[in-house]
A and B are shown apart, each in its own frame.
Chain A
């Protein structure tokens, strides 16, 4: 990039000073943003925070080394008599357009240039004692009268932000401390040791300096990169620079000068900066995606151990179905009866929300990772097969089918008979086809299901559970409570289906008439639609899982203590319970 810096800047092409300043402000804020993106770990001062909150005892200026009339040197002046430390704020940013800055011409130059005008900075009134700092490649300080004796090596029109920090503490320090500091800084001191020279080093910035911006290379001790001012106040150079840009004085200085040259340099640099930032951002995006993927993978492996009852830990992302390959987990579920370890699904079967065992989760994830259209029969119970594609329906977001639910009903029946007389509630479970036979498109038909109970006396039981499929898109549960004489309806979408409860009640009446030769009076019976007082789904896929858990809890006589947030967990748990043909 070749930037020709006009030594006699003008507002040509820049509109008015105020418009230029709008552009500068916009540009600067973009740069602050880009710096933030580049160094996210490092907190930057928000540009909206003002310098008034800057470090106490510091004045910050943007300095632009400027050829004096003699053409020999560059001057920076400050009126303070306190010891000051001059710090190049962003030496490495010069290549990326951070160096939008102007400097103060020497006091005399200034007053010569603006004859008859008062110095805009009250601190810099000519009558004030002042200190001028010559920029000579390295910063060094000098009284103005010393200035003539200090010669800059070469004229440089580089744009360089510099902070001048009053170091009040130094004023009281002893000569010993001063000399010690001199040694530390390795500086070539200006008069009275009051101004410390700071370092400028672009040699390791990795970017070739445009010739017009070339700064004389300095001899620096690299380990002193963190320069005095920032080290002193524990603030990063970025922060100080951000302060600087907000400072009203900075604007004053800029307005005093035409800035077309700086602007052009700045824009050229900014373009490069943008590309650089963009490339970093792209790389970081990639990295983020890799991290997310590995996080999900790790979560699928490790989550088994930290499941908690609050439900949050039950969530599992769809993306977690990583194929974990064939490992030592035994997936011969047909022989599961002999393998007590495989049979276990959860740590504590008595607790409905007990965390799943790690190995159990892994077996499920492993199956889910396989072909979701597989017709391979994974497990069969009472002639109901569970194929690969059936098990895949337990993956989050998928609809459950009759095979999964009827299979689960069979293992619930097993649990009932296992509990035997210990069962708190004695239940009969109909399959999902019962209601479909009872209520056909032609109407209610008791005879279609009359034989279904020929081996069962439903009136000797506590509850009869009737899963209901509604128009092949929804699952709900009807229940007959023989003790309370109620027909209840549980729907995870809160619907009410009076015609379905009426059918079920009619079935109870017909059953009593045909099996017991008893006439039931429907007035003795209560129909209860639970509506949304039972756990409700929050998506359009979980109703089958709700149906299964309604049946699970109701057949145990437990109160519902789950919600939509537990569904991913229940899906995994259901899948394992099908695979081992055992609930709880």
Chain B
């Protein structure tokens, strides 16, 4: 999902703050989908966009960033993300025997 900047032109911001990040989401087979997201946008938007892009239920994937689980309320800022960072979309695992 592409987040369009809705900010008026000329508004003074710290550098990079209103910049959109390119975030890749990579599934366990290595397929990548790239998103643009604002630093302050909750990751829930990215998650639901990814799920709808793949046509699956939102709860299908566990999104991890550098091995840590991403909460829907996280933002690129809170996760300390940088441009072109990659998120892992992992499917559930189970095992018994």
Contacts and interface: CB of A to CB of B under 8 A. Distances in A.
Nearest to A384: B69
B28 A437 contact: yes
B60 to A, nearest CB: 13
B92 A401 contact: yes
Contacts of B64: 431, 433
Nearest to B64: A433
Nearest to A375: B59
Interface in A79-116: none
A504 B96 CA distance: 22
A380 to B, nearest CB: 8
A543 B66 contact: no
A406 B69 contact: yes
A403 interface: yes
Contact of A542 (B28, B66, B69, B96): B96
Nearest to A469: B93
B68 to A, nearest CB: 7
Contacts of B70: 383
Interface in A332-383: 375, 380, 382-383
Interface in A462-477: 469-470, 472-475
Interface string B53-87: 00000010010101111110010000000000000
Contact of B92 (A403, A473, A541): A403
Interface string B25-58: 0001110000000000000000000000000000
Nearest to A450: B66
A21 B57 CA distance: 77
A399 B69 contact: no
A449 interface: yes
A399 B94 contact: yes
A541 B64 CA distance: 27
Contacts of A402: 62, 90, 92-94
A246 B21 CA distance: 97
B24 to A, nearest CB: 12
Nearest to B59: A375
Nearest to A405: B93
Given A433-B62, A437-B88, A383 B94 contact: no
B95 interface: yes
Interface in A397-412: 398-403, 406
B4 interface: no
Contact of A472 (B30, B59, B94): B94
B97 interface: yes
Majority DSSP secondary structure for residues of A touching B: mixed
Contacts of A493: 97
A454 interface: yes
B69 A401 contact: no
A33 to B, nearest CB: 44
A472 B64 CA distance: 19
Contacts, number: 89
Contact of B67 (A430, A440, A470): A430
A390 B59 CA distance: 13
B97 A540 contact: yes
Contacts of A222: none
A490 to B, nearest CB: 14
| Residue among B29, B74, B96 facing the most chain A CB atoms (10 A cut-off) | B96
> Which of B71, B88, B95, B96 has the most A CB atoms < 10 Å from its CB?
B95
B90 A436 contact: yes
A409 to B, nearest CB: 11
A473 B66 contact: no
Contact of B69 (A382, A448, A451): A382
A451 B88 CA distance: 12
A404 to B, nearest CB: 9
A441 interface: yes
A148 to B, nearest CB: 88
A320 interface: no
Contacts of A403: 62, 92
Nearest to A442: B30
A473 B94 contact: yes
A434 B97 contact: no
A382 B92 CA distance: 17
Contacts of B29: 440-442
A440 B88 contact: no
A474 B71 CA distance: 27
Interface in A520-545: 537, 539-544
Contact of A473 (B68, B69, B97): B97
A419 B38 CA distance: 39
Nearest to A437: B88
A469 B64 CA distance: 17
Given A383-B71, A384-B69, A430-B67, A401 B28 contact: no
A399 B66 contact: no
Given A433-B90, A440-B29, A440-B30, A399 B67 contact: no
Interface of B: 28-30, 59, 62, 64, 66-71, 74, 88, 90, 92-97
9 contacts: A383-B68, A383-B74, A384-B69, A399-B95, A401-B93, A451-B67, A474-B96, A542-B96, A544-B96
**6 closest A-B pairs (Cβ-Cβ)?**
A383-B71, A399-B96, A540-B97, A452-B67, A402-B93, A475-B95
